[in-house]
Amino acid sequence: MAKVLCVLYDDPVDGYPSSYARDGVPRIDHYPDGHSTPSPSALDFTPGELLGSVSGALGLRHFLETAGHELVVTSDKDGPGSVFERELPDAEVVISQPFWPAYLTAERIAKAPKLKLAITAGIGSDHVDLAAAIDHGITVAEVTYSNSVSVSEHVVMMILSLVRNYLPAHQWVLDGGWNIADCVARSYDLEAMDVGTVAAGRIGTAVLRRLKPFDVRLHYTDRHRLPEEVEAELDVTYHPDVQSLVRVCDVVTINAPLHPETENLFDDALIGRMKRGAYLVNTARGKICDRDAVVRALESGQLAGYAGDVWFPQPAPRDHPWRTMPHHGMTPHTSGTSLSAQARYAAGTREILECHFAGRPIRDEYLIVEGGRLAGTGKHSYSAK
């Protein structure tokens, strides 16, 4: 029987919820690309429950324990004395979420001789050293598409919040004020602005689709062009490189994976090429933006606002400058872990586990690494080094 080690974020400070704001979440059977949502043999949770925190245990406890497996769930993930490091040496399966990543470094993988499967409950496996997983024959899988639309909704929310100056206006209400001029002195309409996405994959395209009805001028750059009919439908302008995109955009949203080409992409030089007073929204990965360049640009007015939910490291330390820089709308890493998204990626995690224990193939679209090489989605989205 296997040991499954699951790293999840902490429960709410006032305890695991006993009731919810709504009685459920709408059911979705298919994603926009036609693939079906996860289809495990059964679910031991009600969609809409908090599953991503320690007590929620991704709804896996009954399923795993009745099958005789051991499930260890912890939020204690960093440092040599952590529960994660202590439990890792005899774990067969590790489950982690990008929001609270258990970094599976080469050193940690070397200390886990029984490890066969690393599941990302969500999307984005850059917290796993994929080259080490390849070398050790570990399968890496994630729940592709489970939270792409969730993230795109967060992006649209953040763009509107920044452009319309929503958060400071809300703060005036909390503070007992009615300071209309203070609220509107930085407030604009999004209509007729130029809005561009760096990458038009699942999330980037969903952002473009959602923004189209706002009567903005849409732009994108990507390594591959969208099909002609999609470009025509969205009336979106393609840019061969990010420099050309940022020059013309009032709002830029980053939806590319973190890899050597994108790490620190938004540095002083690139931000300096943006229009003065542009807005930048990054829900992809914190390291795509140079931390201090963002702060400098907000302080100088080169950027009118910055928002996102991704930081480095995570959790961000209390003194991380993005907590206190001006004109920001940061959240913790939450965009892909709404209760709606959790229901899908918890079901997908169970589907992957069922396949693993039954010796059945895991869906190709969920695979990142298998059999000592990049596989499935991983072949397209990641590089081994």
- The residues annotated as belonging to the active site are 147, 285, 314, 333
Name the minimum Å distance from CB 204 to ligand NDP. 6
Residues 6+ apart with CB under 8 A from 75: 7, 8, 9, 10, 53, 54, 100
SS3 call for 300: helix
Nearer to ligand NDP, 123 or 297 (CB): 123
- The residue ranges of DSSP E strands in 110-235, in sequence order, are 117-120, 139-142, 194-198, 217-221
Q: Quick one: which segment of 28-36, 87-95, 166-174, 217-225 binds ligand NDP (CB under 6 A)?
A: 217-225
Binding of residue 381 to ligand NDP (CB under 6 A): yes
CB 141 within 8 A of CB 354: no
For ligand NDP, which is the closer residue by CB, 78 or 126?
126
- Interacting residue with ligand NDP among 96, 120, 165, 255 (CB under 6 A): 255
Decide: is 204 part of the binding site for ligand NDP (CB under 6 A): yes
Name the 3-class secondary structure at 120: strand
Q: Is the peptide bond before 313 cis (omega within 30 degrees of 0)?
A: yes
Smaller CB distance to ligand NDP: residue 37 or 179? 37
Does residue 275 sit in helix, strand or coil?
Answer: coil
The least CB distance from residue 381 to ligand NDP, in Å, is: 4
* Segment interacting with ligand NDP (CB under 6 A) among 48-56, 145-153, 187-195, 272-280: 145-153
State whether residue 12 is helix, strand or coil.
coil
Q: Rounded to the nearest 10 degrees, what angle do helices 166-174 and 148-163 cross at?
A: 70
Among 60, 123, 249, 353, binds ligand NDP (CB under 6 A): 123
The residue whose Cβ lies closest to ligand NDP is 201
- 260 touches ligand NDP (CB under 6 A): no
Contact by Cβ (8 Å): 302, 280:
no
Instruction: Map residues 300-319 to x or -, x wherever contact with ligand NDP holds by CB under 6 A.
Output: ---------xx---------
Should residue 199 be labelled a site residue for ligand NDP when binding is judged by CB under 6 A? Answer: yes
User: What token pair was written down for 250?
Assistant: 């009032």
3-class secondary structure, 6 = strand
Q: What is the CA radius of gyration of the chain?
A: 21
Does 362 bind ligand NDP (CB under 6 A)? Our answer is: no
If you search the block for the tokens 């974020």, which residue do you land on? Answer: 9
Angle ∠(139,142,148) on CA atoms, nearest 5: 165
Nearest to 131 by CA among 123, 141, 122, 140: 140
Min dist. Cβ of residue 331 to ligand NDP (A):
10
CA distance 245 to 98: 28
Residues 6 or more apart whose CB falls under 8 angstroms from that of 109 comprise 115, 129, 132, 133, 136, 138
Of 53, 96, 161, 283, which lies in the binding site for ligand NDP, with binding defined by CB under 6 A? 283
Residue 124 is a binding residue for ligand NDP (CB under 6 A): yes
143 binds ligand NDP, rule: CB under 6 A: no
Task: Decide the pairing of beta strands 373-374 and 367-370.
Answer: antiparallel
148-163 and 202-211 helices cross at what angle (nearest 10)? 50
Q: Which stretch binds ligand NDP (CB under 6 A): 4-12, 47-55, 109-117, 332-340?
A: 332-340
| Binding segment (CB under 6 A) for ligand NDP, from list 53-61, 147-155, 207-215, 347-355 | 147-155
For residue 310 the two structure tokens come to: 């991704």
Among 128, 134, 198, 362, binds ligand NDP (CB under 6 A): 198
Q: Binding residues for ligand NDP, how many (CB under 6 A)?
A: 33
Report d(CA 244, CA 266) in Å as an integer. Answer: 13
- Please select the residue that binds ligand NDP; options are 142, 194, 222, 250, rule is CB under 6 A: 222
| Interaction between residue 196 and ligand NDP (CB under 6 A) | no
From 59, 329, 336, 378, residue interacting with ligand NDP (rule: CB under 6 A): 336
Is residue 221 within the footprint of ligand NDP (CB under 6 A)?
yes
Residue from 38, 56, 59, 201 binding ligand NDP (CB under 6 A) = 201
Return the residue matching tokens 């994959």.
201
Name the site residues for ligand NDP (rule: CB under 6 A). Answer: 122-124, 147-148, 151, 198-204, 221-224, 255-258, 261-262, 283-285, 309-310, 333, 335-336, 380-381
